[in-house]
Structures are given as structure tokens and as C-alpha cells.
Amino acid sequence: MKLRDLDIIITAPPAPGWGGRYWILVKLTTDDGITGWGECYASSIGPEAMRAVISDVFQRYFEGENPENIERMFRRTYSSGFTQRPDLTVMGAFSGLEIACWDILGKARDRPVWALLGGMMNERIRTYTYLYPLPEHPLPAFWGSADMAAEAALDCVNRGYTAVKFDPAGPYTMRGGHQPAMSDISQSVAFCKAIREAVGDKADLLFGTHGQFTTSGAIRLGQAIEPYNPLWFEEPIPPDNLLEFEQVARAVRIPIATGERLTTRAEFAALLRTGGAKILQPALGRAGGIWESRKIAVLAESFNAEMAPHLYAGPVEWAANIHLGVSIPNLLIAETIETPFHDALIKGSLKVEAGFVTAPQAPGLGIEIDEDLARAHPYTGDGLHLEMQDAPCDYVNGNLFEGGAPAPIPALDTP
């Protein structure tokens, strides 16, 4: 069995666009006709430029190779261009291709992917969701309303979720870490208070940021929300200085979670060695794929840390996350996104039921892709999957941060 053909589909979820502006799906076919699907979580360059990167990585290191040789293809790609170091874009391309290889291997053996990773550890996977507006909630007011967030949280709990994520402490700016405005701290406390009062002890609070703050700013914010006992304080500082995470972890009595913008075990190992994070959130379409993320889980287990696979993408990466989660002993929780488009794209082949996903039993990733639907929604914009805003933190008027949902273009072209 040899890898023969590559197809790349860049599909754009319709409004409201939860999951980013577009998803990069890859389809591999072997010389004996088995197909496998993967997803690349890569947004440093535009989707057409990324298409070229994926094609280059496939032609150099995958084409003509046996899909069983995951480690060999990883080492070749990781070393590409005399590098042997983490590269977000190249490893994003590799990750999608690697996930597709596992889909092929499972189908060839008539077994789900988790069965090839050490077998079943968890019969079902606990999941969480971002707080998204209910139909009666106006935008953009929802993103700044603690009361509406509490209503959305209670709705999630009523649907079975035992954890909800929110990130009211903007802005998400290209200027690097900043001190939070006092209004951002006050708003964050208000969100935590209102949501905790709404859900009581029925759900964990997952406080998200996207690396917005300096080390001291993150400590100020983290200490302010401690009384509401969040399960985690996510990516409190930018990911370009992994050593600083330790200072936040020592000063704030909330577990530090991070990982969506990291790639390969090399970067995650640095956090584990310093104690900078105890909850790791690899995005499997970026971190090196399923096998590399399995290695990250093993490293985490050695440091008594937990895994919480990240998802702000499409349902193919979600399927990979679920199979990893089924196979590891130190799974905490997995992110999910429920939209009609996510569901339709995989023809309902994976479902969240009362806040959990049951271990898939079908071969490979256990999903069936609606290829016609994916092709019927091509991405025609010029924005990236997610983008930072140019404007700095507004210390006068406050900040409205839209969480995990990019606003419609052209009203506001920031995530």
C-alpha cells in the first residue's frame, strides 16, 4: 500500500462562522483505492499559500510512501530544509496529512484509529463548548454581557455540558502582551460571578485568553478571578516565551492550560519541565498529528499533567481529537463545536450526547465526509483563519472581545 494522490479542499463555514473563516481539509488516496481524510490547522499564511505548502510536503515526504511509516515521514518533515525544529506552517501541513494516514490505516484494518494507538482507555469523552449567543441574544452586545453569558452557560448545562469556556478579557492584539485595563478585569470578574451563580457546581468554568497579557498583567487578572475556582486559566501570556508561564503558574491558584499555538513535543516539553502548565491543549492539526500528540500525552503523564485537545476548526480535526482522547489515560476534556455545518460535513457520524462523545466504532476516524458540501462552500475572502487586531488595548472606553467567533466581514475584520 502506497500513498498516491492528494486533494485539498478549503471550505468556509457559513455564518455565523464558529470554527474560523475556513477549514483546510486534505484527502489522501492509496494505490489500492483507500481514502483518508485529515485537517490542517494552520493560519500563519493564506489558504492558497498553505495549499502550496501542503502539496510540497506531500510530494517530498508522503507520495509513494507506505502510510504505516508515520515516524519516518514525521522525521523527514521535521528535518526539512536542514531544520529539525518546530515550524508552525510546515508542521500544520504535516499534521493534516498524518491524520489522513491514520484514517487510511484504520480503514485498511477495519478498526477505529484509537484501536491502533493502544486500544480503548475511555469509553466516552467529556467535552466542553464555548459560550455562543442564544437566538435572542443581540450581537455584538452578547460578548460584553455577563448576564447573557450566564444564560448561555445555563443552556449548555441543561444540554448536558459539564464545562463551559468564555474569554471576556480582550483585546486580541498583534502588539504582544499588555496590562489588562481595569475595566477588563472588572468585566472578567463579573462574567465569572454571573456564570458561577447560574451553573453552581454543575459545570467547570474555563477562563480563556489568547496570550493577551504580560506576565504581571496575567497574574493580576488571574488573581482577580480566583474566588470563582475556574478549572483553568488558558494561555494567559503569548506563546513566544515559554519560560514565563512558570511565573504565572506560581502566582495564580488556577491550573494553567495552553497549547493551541504550539507544535510538536519539543515545545510542550519546555512547559512541562518548568511546571508552566499542567493542562496541555494541542491542536492535532498543528501539533504534529495524532502520533506526535500521543507522545505529548505520554510526556504529560510523566509530569502528572492532563490533556485537553483544542478545537477551533472543522470536524475532521475534532474526530482526530476524539480518537486520541479514547486512547490516553490522562485525558481531562476535549473541546467541541456544535453547528449544523459541522454536523452535516461529517453526515452526523460523530455526536455530542449530554456533554459526552461515545468512542467511535467505525473504521478509521469513523466519519463520512460530505465532499459535495465541502466543495459547495469555497472560501473566497482574503482574511486568515483567525487574525489579531492592530489597535491597542483601549484603557478609556473598554474592550469588546468576540471570543472564538470572528465577526462578519467587513463589519469588523478581527477575531
Query: pLDDT of 13-51, one tens digit each?
Result: 998 889 999 999 999 999 999 999 999 998 899 999 999
- Domains in the chain with CATH codes: 115-365 (3.20.20.120)
Residue 192: count of CB within 10 angstroms of its CB = 23
The predicted model scores a pTM of 0.96
Q: Is it the case that residue 260 has pLDDT exceeding 60?
A: yes
Helices (H) and strands (E) in the chain, counts: 12, 12
**Percent of the chain surpassing pLDDT 90:** 91
Q: Where are the alpha helices (DSSP H) in 200-263?
A: 215-225, 245-251
Q: Where are the alpha helices (DSSP H) in 288-411?
A: 289-302, 315-327, 340-345, 371-375
Q: Is it the case that residue 82 has pLDDT exceeding 90?
A: yes
Q: Is it the case that residue 85 has pLDDT exceeding 80?
A: yes
Residues 6+ apart with CB under 8 A from 43: 20, 384, 385, 386
Least confident of 17-21, 95-99, 128-132, 142-146: 17-21
Q: Is it the case that residue 411 has pLDDT exceeding 50?
A: no
Residues 6+ apart with CB under 8 A from 200: none
Cα separation, 103 vs 366, in Å, equals 8
Cα separation, 395 vs 389, in Å, equals 15
Q: State pLDDT tens for residues 281-302.
A: 999 999 999 999 999 999 999 9
The DSSP element (H or E) to which 125 belongs, if any, is strand 124-130
Q: State pLDDT tens for residues 366-402.
A: 999 999 999 999 999 989 998 888 999 999 999 987 7
